[in-house]
Amino acid sequence: MNSAKNAPKPAKLTPNLGLKHRNSFGLDSKAELAYEITSADQLPALMKELGDKKLAWRVLGGGSNVILPESLPGATLLINILGQELIQSDDSNSWLSVGAGVNWHELVSWALEHNLPGLENLALIPGTVGAAPIQNIGAYGLEVGEYIDSIEAFDSAAHAFVTLPKEACQFAYRDSYFKQNPNRFIVTKVVFKIPKAWQARLQYADLAKQFAESNSSPSAKQIFDAVCTIRSNKLPDPKVIGNAGSFFQNPIVPSEQCEQLSKKFPNLVSYPDTPGMCKLAAGWLIDQCGFKGKRVGPVGVYENQALVLVNHGGGTSTDILNLAKSIREEVLKKFGVQLEIEPNIL
C-alpha cells in the first residue's frame, strides 16, 4: 500500500509531439514518443521500460544546441525538473542546487537578485541548467564549469543515480565527461559553488570597452546588463531568427601553425591557449571566406557574426548540414584548418 502511495507519478507521454517550438533553430521535427520528466524519481522506471522495449532515447533540454532531423524515433526525454535552492553557505562560498529544467538565463537573473553574483558573464545564453555543463557553456571570459560543485545524473549504464564532483566532469573548452559519453547520463540537478568574494571579470575586450571610461569598477548587475546588450547586438534572437549560437568551435591548433598562418594572414584573430597551442577565431576564418550574410535557400550565415548559422524559415537539418559542409571545405582549403560542429546532431 505504502509503496504504491509513494510511487512517483509516471512521466507524461505525448506521442508524435511537434518540436518546432522546442528547438532554437526552429526545425520541423516530430518526436515519436515524448516523455516529460518533472521529477528525477520518474527516471528509473522509465529507463527500465525503454531498456526492456529496446527503444532508442535521447534527452532534449532547451533545444538551443541541437540539430534535429525531421523525425526522432523512439523516446525523447523533455527535462522539466524545476526549482533552485540555496543549500549551504559558509564564510567563503554559497552552494546553490538547481533543477536541470530551469532556464539558464532565469537562473543567472535569480542568482543576482539573491545576492549571489558570479554567473553574470553568462547572461542570455539560451538553454537549460542541465544542458549547461554538457558543453561547458562559456562566454566573455567565463566557463560554467568553474562554478560547478557537483552534478547529479541518472547513469543509464549503471541504471542508478550518480553524483559527479567537479573533478570527474572533465570540463574543458566546450567539452565535458558528459559530452564524451553521449547518451549515458541524464543530468537532473546541478550544484553550483559560488565564492562570496566577487570580482568583476572584464578580460574580454568587448566587455572591458563598455566600462573603459568609468573610474569605478562595475557592479555585477552592470556587467549583466552589458553582456545582455553585447549579445543582443551580435547574436540573433532565436525567437526571431532560428539559430543555435556558435555553429563551430573555435579551433585549437599548434602555435607553430598559428605563426605560419599569421605570416600569411596578418589580421588573423588568435588567442593563446594551453602551452604550445593557440585558439583561432572561427568566425574570422569563415568571414574571410566570404560567407558572412550569405544565404543558401532557407538557411544562411548571420550577417553580424559569421560563426552563427541561421534558419530564415522552413530550413531542414539537411540544408544546415550542407551549408556547414561548404563552409568547412572552404576554410580547410584557404587556411588548412578543420572546423568542428558545435551543436549536437541528433
- Closest distance to ligand EPU from the beta carbon of 110 (Å): 21
Sole binder of ligand EPU in the list 284, 289, 319, 327 (CB under 6 A): 284
Find out whether 314 and 298 touch, Cβ atoms under 8 Å: yes
Catalytic annotation present for 342: yes
Q: How far, in Å, CA of 217 to CA of 211, rounded?
A: 8
Phi–psi pair at 134, nearest 5 degrees: -60, -50
Q: Where are the beta strands (DSSP E) in 160-269?
A: 160-165, 185-195, 242-246, 252-254
Nearer Cβ to ligand EPU, position 36 or 303? 303
Of the candidates 29, 150, 246, 270, the residue annotated as catalytic is: 246
Cell numbers that stand for 239 in this block:
525567437
Sole binder of ligand EPU in the list 130, 145, 242, 283 (CB under 6 A): 283
Sole binder of ligand EPU in the list 80, 270, 305, 316 (CB under 6 A): 305
| Binding piece for ligand EPU, criterion CB under 6 A, among 71-79, 105-113, 251-259, 303-311 | 303-311
Q: How far, in Å, CA of 102 to CA of 100, rounded?
A: 6
Catalytic annotation present for 295: no
100: closest CA among 185, 224, 7, 194? 185
Find out whether 133 and 180 touch, Cβ atoms under 8 Å: no
| Binding piece for ligand EPU, criterion CB under 6 A, among 7-15, 29-37, 282-290, 314-322 | 282-290
Cell numbers that stand for 22 in this block:
522546442
Find out whether 108 and 122 touch, Cβ atoms under 8 Å: yes
- Closest distance to ligand EPU from the beta carbon of 316 (Å): 21
Nearer Cβ to ligand EPU, position 37 or 244? 244
Q: Taking the chain, what is the end-to-end CA distance rounded to the nearest angstrom?
A: 42
Report the residue number whose CB is nearest to ligand EPU.
245
Of the candidates 174, 176, 231, 270, the residue annotated as catalytic is: 174
Residues 110-169 that bind ligand EPU (CB under 6 A): 139-140
Element (H, E) at 220: helix 220-234
Q: Quick count: other Cβ atoms within 10 Å of Cβ 2?
A: 6
Sole binder of ligand EPU in the list 36, 49, 146, 287 (CB under 6 A): 287
Phi–psi pair at 29, nearest 5 degrees: -150, 150
Nearer Cβ to ligand EPU, position 155 or 342? 342
104 binds ligand EPU, rule: CB under 6 A: no
299: closest CA among 277, 272, 321, 267? 321
What string of DSSP letters covers 270-299? Answer: EEE-STTEEEE-HHHHHHHTT-TT-EETTE
Catalytic annotation present for 156: no
Q: How many residues does the chain have?
A: 346
| Binding piece for ligand EPU, criterion CB under 6 A, among 29-37, 71-79, 283-291, 314-322 | 283-291
Sole binder of ligand EPU in the list 84, 210, 246, 316 (CB under 6 A): 246
- Closest distance to ligand EPU from the beta carbon of 49 (Å): 35
| Binding piece for ligand EPU, criterion CB under 6 A, among 24-32, 104-112, 152-160, 278-286 | 278-286
Sole binder of ligand EPU in the list 124, 307, 323, 339 (CB under 6 A): 307
Q: How far, in Å, CA of 179 to CA of 96, rounded?
A: 23
Site of interaction with ligand EPU (CB under 6 A): 139-140, 204, 234-235, 245-246, 249-250, 269, 281, 283-284, 287, 292, 305-307, 342
Residues involved in catalysis: 174, 246, 342
